[in-house]
Amino acid sequence: MTSLQLPGRLQQSLEDTKVEYRQLGKSGLRVSVPILGCMGFGDSQAIPWALDEDKGLNTWDTANSYSNGASERIIGKALKQFGIPREKVVILTKCNFAVGETPEEQQFAFYSEFDRSKDYQNQFGLSRIAIFNQVEASLKRLGTTYIDLLQIHRYDSSVPIEETLKALHDLVQSGKVRYIGASSMWATQFARLQFCAEQNGWTKFVSMQDQYNLLYREEELDIKIIGRVEELAKKHEWPMAHIALAWINKRVTSPIIGCSSLRRLDEAIGSNGKRLDSDEEQYLEELYQPRPIWGHI
């Protein structure tokens, strides 16, 4: 039996692919490892070095509130500017926080004023109407007809969870959202949401995005760990980032990385396939002591 010759285009595609892919949680959605974090996208200069890199980094994480909507607009502009087929990328965005109508209007700085303003009623939070309004606005900024993964940015205790979950379920049923996820909440809150969705036959969350990495577990950083990261990096002749990414890649589906330059992006992609042995992992972890966490904003 003769083996088939690999088609030239497929061979080139494999050579151009510098990352690996994994299924997100228990879902069938496949995401790149790592995921590109777009929180820092606030002007169009972010596009050329970050999104026009055809290296397989096809999963982008943003939120409606990042740079007051500018991050989503930049992604939408990139899709159009570079002629990127929508089905070739995975877009993750979030809802809950308001998007200011001017750059100076930041909800984090003026929360009570947003709550009282006529211009921001039903524009934030996790009520049914607010979720629908936020999704429609995100779709417009992204210039697309659907969101691959919609994440609730925080837990909203002011709204019945049944209302929130039914709204998310209806968005999935409508096709405007493919999957749903959550971000930054207590485990008990997340469990309560999942249980309610399951009991009612509604769409369940496939992911939880939280701050978690080798140096920042439970919101604590131990400077001594950095010394050990540096030590192992010298041993392997790797950048320090590859040590941290090798550790996290074994523990989560895909880390979300924020990059300030093309060099940093290439460095992160270059960690693909790198592994630490069990002794090295223990060496990195043994200094860490869990501490009380101060909460989520």
Contacts of 297 (CB under 8 A, 6+ apart): 154, 184
Compute the chain's Rg from CA coordinates: 20
Query: How many Å apart are CA 43 and CA 280, to the nearest integer?
Result: 40
3 state SS of 31: strand
CB-CB contact of 65 with 153 (8 Å) = yes
Give whole-number Cα distances, 265 to 98, 261, 268, 269, in Å: 29, 6, 5, 6
> What is the β-pairing status of strands 20-23 and 30-33?
antiparallel
Q: Please identify every residue annotated as catalytic.
A: 66
Give whole-number Cα distances, 272 to 14, 33, 109, in Å: 14, 8, 39
And the tokens for 180? 């749903």
And the tokens for 273? 């396939």
Q: Which residue reads 């998310």 in tokens? A: 168
Contacts of 276 (CB under 8 A, 6+ apart): 232, 243, 246, 247, 250, 284
Please provide the DSSP assignment of 46-96 as one string. HHHHHTS--SS--EEE--TTGGGGHHHHHHHHHHHHTT--GGG-EEEEEES
